Structure 1
Amino acid sequence: MLDADYRFLAAAATEGDCQDSSSDFGRRAEATDLEAEFAPPDPDLVAQTPESPDELARVLYGCVNYLAQAAEQISLVLDSVCASGGEAASDPPRRPPRPDRERARPAWPSRAMRPERAGRECARPGPGPGPEPGAADSSAPVVFRTLGTFCVEVDGHPVAASQWRSKKSRDLVKLLLARPGRPIPREEVMNVLWPGEPARELGSRLSVVLSTTRSVLAGGRRCTGPSPLGADRDVVTLDLGVAESDVVSFLEDADRALGSHRRGHSALDELAGAQLRYRGDFLECEPYADWAMPLREHARAQYINVLHALVRQAARARQPVLAIDYALRLLQCDAYDEQAHLWLFRLLRTCGRHGEARRAHANYLTRMREIGVEPAVAAS
């Protein structure tokens, strides 16, 4: 059973990005190289005297990786014994293959998964907010945080609600952030801020809002540098060359990481960094604003693409537990994502977590029935 699961995960790890999955995705694929990924180190290789530091590191990594896999299986057996009241379970998890039975040579891991990075890469991505990505090293005097809770920071300090002095100033900033780098006609801005009111009476109001917003973004002091907020007789703009927007940073990081992934490179570091930047949907505080919807949907779609790539990259890097975490995050975004369901089921079974795998399979069948999709044969 486990060998078949390895073959399934190998196909998932090596396939390209699939934006439009076919109806028979997940059916059994031919084996590629995942069995070798989890195999013990070659005794002949270990016995040889390494000729270089790189060769020594390669040998040591293979040994350490195999021992880690064995330790995980031992932990599963101990959990099974404890759960059964001190007696070994009737169907304990399968232990790793013996070196004399499996001679597959371990593949050299990606740069992202080398031992010096293991502490950071193997950390379980918890659901909590964690440290603010980019907060410590941001050199921009003004930072706009729009993913999740809306917040504006000036010189590293959050702007309090009382400092805005006008809700319209906050709304103006949100509107401009929804169209990063693009000028918006003054008339359109006035229609959003004061819907239904005649434009001829709103010019002076907009001027007051612009002045208030500039003062807030300057930290309440006389501004000596360029303000991110610009306006002329025709348009209003937000210059992100002198400010930072977290949604723009996320999209840039995601584009770079997905590009590396699609070219077949190891991109676990880049993808994980982009994933950490996404702390929630764009402007969650404005769920019904039509002007916020396009960027919100675009950012969310890219986040899902990043998670799909992370599952494949984690499986390729022989980290099934990490891949499980990302598959679960995918299902939090979309409970009907068939790829995520199949990955989760296979990964859990590969790790010997058969009870969780059964529940995941039952949930998959339920979700597919709800939308009238025939379950894939590979999940049976």
Structure 2
Amino acid sequence: MRGTVRERLVPVLAGGTVPLTLVVAPAGYGKSTLLTSAAEAFPGKVLHWRPSRDTLGVHALLARLGRQLGVAEPVCVESVLLAVEQCADPVLLLVDGVHHVHGSPAEGVLEELALLAPPNLRLVLSGRRMPALNLTRLELADTAVLTARHLRLASGEMAAMFADAPEAGRELAELTRGWPGVLKLSGPAVLAGRDPLDSAALRTYLDREVLSLLPPRLVQLMERPPDGPELPEFAEEYGLDTDVPLLRAHLARRSGAPARHAGAADRSGTGQDAPLSLRCFGRYEATLAGRPPAWNRARPRVRALARLLSVHAGRPVHREELMAALWPESPARTAGRGLQVAVSALRTVLEPGPDRGRSQLLVRSGEAYMLVLEPGSSCDVRAFEAAVGEGLRAAAHGDAERAAGPLGRALRLYTGELLPEDGPAEWVVPIRERYRNQAVQAAHTLAEVELGRDRADAAVAAATHALSLDPFQDAVWRLLIAAHRQAGDPVAARHVERRHAEMLDALGVL
């Protein structure tokens, strides 16, 4: 299967002149293999980044690119682009697993690289979900998008693979629609004349690697024949081919559509999944369909697990990270058992009554767990990240009008330090510091933007906000002084100058 996929699709990635290519499909479509083949065939320099639970941030991305390009620290977008432009050969940037950084500042950096790419740079972003990039921008108008329908094996390729068993080959082509991973797991059963869904390996693969990463609403729509445009539009974001008979048969066998829909209606009272609302800044709050879960029966570690997963809502968190955070001094076996018990208890809290065990909110993906954010759900951390990224990108491009709104929205979302309930717990301190730094950066940038728009009072408010979060920002002090002067308040400017001098004196700078 590797050879047929590479022969047919590698030229799309390794050749041509399209500056950006997106490869979006569920597990099992050979995305990583395709990227490896493209790297082997590309005639120039190849850069790689594979996001993992330890390398999701902007610094990790830029540091990785800097090392591969020989750029000295500190690395920024401009230095990366300059190094690429100075390369005599074409450069290909391959990102495998871009869904791990969906909606994050790192994804914003990738968009910026694509928007500002010199003529010799091409980007290929591969993952299980469409990146949140603005493809309506003129610079990205020629973006190529490959989905499951492009990656699946063609009928001729299937026929060549099963030349010795043409009947079985035709049956597999119909059942799998050329889905390579599903074909591999179902092929032996079909060749032996058995029902492929009798294979526990195939069922587990579809559950853990495919369905658990999709929004429950999409899974529910797939359980019944589509009666409108919602399903194809919804599935497009995940590059999914919803007409694979084995997948639909598995869904029908797994849950039974009528009973499942009835259960979902019982929970929300509206016939749809109940939206989840999460607040992590200032204090922790969670509501499900407008009501808080019954935390009174949950043990402290179960509540801590809920808070940890809430910070990363919509993203999988590896079980080892959860164990290290919540059972830092326990042996691995003890921590593993504790995590299993805590996950089960948390599911009981989030999915009580007839929905218990459906795993629609807390899902497992391989060795990771994730709180699902369905359409209509919200998380202040995710909204904050998106607003900061949007505002900083607009400011970097000199678009003050577009920057001010998102930056102001980010500061309204940042209502206090992250999860104060967890105190100085080792797992939360670096995350808390990262978001505080992002809030300071957003306030600082907003002050600069507002000052440039001759909105001195707004600049004063933003700079004051930044200093309330971090009083040791020399550039912000100077910006605040300038804002007071522009506002025509020299008394306030002199007062800030004295406070600034006192701060410098306390630090031993003066």
- What TM-score results when the alignment is normalised by the length of structure 2? 0.42
Answering whether residue 340 of structure 2 is matched by residue 340 of structure 1, we say no
Specify whether residues 365 and 152 from structure 1 end up closer, same or farther in structure 2 by C-alpha distance, changes over 3 A only: same
SS at match of 1:289: coil
Which 5+ residue runs of structure 1 have no aligned equivalent?
A: 1-18, 21-138, 375-380
Matches within 5 A, 1:12-23: none
Answering whether residue 362 of structure 2 is matched by residue 229 of structure 1, we say yes
CA drift of 1:146 comes to 0.7
Matches within 5 A, 1:68-107: none
Answering whether residue 464 of structure 2 is matched by residue 328 of structure 1, we say yes
Q: Which residue of 2 aligns with 1:360?
A: 496
CA drift of 1:184 comes to 4.0
Of 314, 317, 342, 2:453 maps to 317
Residue pair 2:282, 2:419 contacting (<8 A) in 1 also: yes
CA drift of 1:363 comes to 0.6
- Higher RCO by CA contacts (8 Å cutoff, separation 6 or greater): 1
Which 5+ residue runs of structure 2 have no aligned equivalent?
A: 1-74, 77-272
Specify whether residues 319 and 221 from structure 1 end up closer, same or farther in structure 2 by C-alpha distance, changes over 3 A only: farther
Q: Which residue of 1 aligns with 2:411?
A: 275
Q: Which residue of 2 aligns with 1:97?
A: none
SS at match of 1:237: strand
Specify whether residues 160 and 357 from structure 1 end up closer, same or farther in structure 2 by C-alpha distance, changes over 3 A only: farther
SS at match of 1:158: coil
Q: Which residue of 1 aligns with 2:340?
A: 207
Residue pair 2:439, 2:466 contacting (<8 A) in 1 also: no
CA drift of 1:333 comes to 1.2
CA deviations 1:54-101 (Å, max 9, x no partner) are: xxxxxxxxxxxxxxxxxxxxxxxxxxxxxxxxxxxxxxxxxxxxxxxx
The CA distance in 2 between the partners of 1:233 and 1:270, in whole Å, is 35
The CA distance in 1 between the partners of 2:462 and 2:335, in whole Å, is 49
CA drift of 1:313 comes to 1.9
The CA distance in 2 between the partners of 1:201 and 1:346, in whole Å, is 58
**More off after superposition, 231-240 vs 278-287:** 231-240
SS at match of 2:355: coil
Pairs aligned (count): 237
CA drift of 1:327 comes to 1.2
CA drift of 1:276 comes to 1.0
Q: Which residue of 1 aligns with 2:389?
A: 255
The CA distance in 1 between the partners of 2:318 and 2:447, in whole Å, is 43
The CA distance in 2 between the partners of 1:353 and 1:232, in whole Å, is 57
Specify whether residues 144 and 156 from structure 1 end up closer, same or farther in structure 2 by C-alpha distance, changes over 3 A only: same
The CA distance in 1 between the partners of 2:451 and 2:319, in whole Å, is 50
Answering whether residue 486 of structure 2 is matched by residue 350 of structure 1, we say yes
Answering whether residue 282 of structure 2 is matched by residue 148 of structure 1, we say yes
The CA distance in 2 between the partners of 1:241 and 1:166, in whole Å, is 26
Structure (1 or 2) with the greater helix fraction = 2
Specify whether residues 321 and 168 from structure 1 end up closer, same or farther in structure 2 by C-alpha distance, changes over 3 A only: same
- What TM-score results when the alignment is normalised by the length of structure 1? 0.55
SS at match of 2:433: helix
CA drift of 1:198 comes to 4.2
CA drift of 1:196 comes to 3.5
Specify whether residues 285 and 340 from structure 1 end up closer, same or farther in structure 2 by C-alpha distance, changes over 3 A only: same
Query: Percent of pairs identical after alignment?
Result: 28
The CA distance in 2 between the partners of 1:276 and 1:155, in whole Å, is 23
Residue pair 1:178, 1:292 contacting (<8 A) in 2 also: no
CA drift of 1:148 comes to 1.2
CA drift of 1:216 comes to 1.9
CA drift of 1:241 comes to 5.0
- Equivalent position amino acid for 2:378 in 1: E
CA drift of 1:191 comes to 4.7
Q: Which residue of 2 aligns with 1:159?
A: 293
Q: Which residue of 2 aligns with 1:193?
A: 326
Q: Aligned Cα RMSD in Å?
A: 3.0
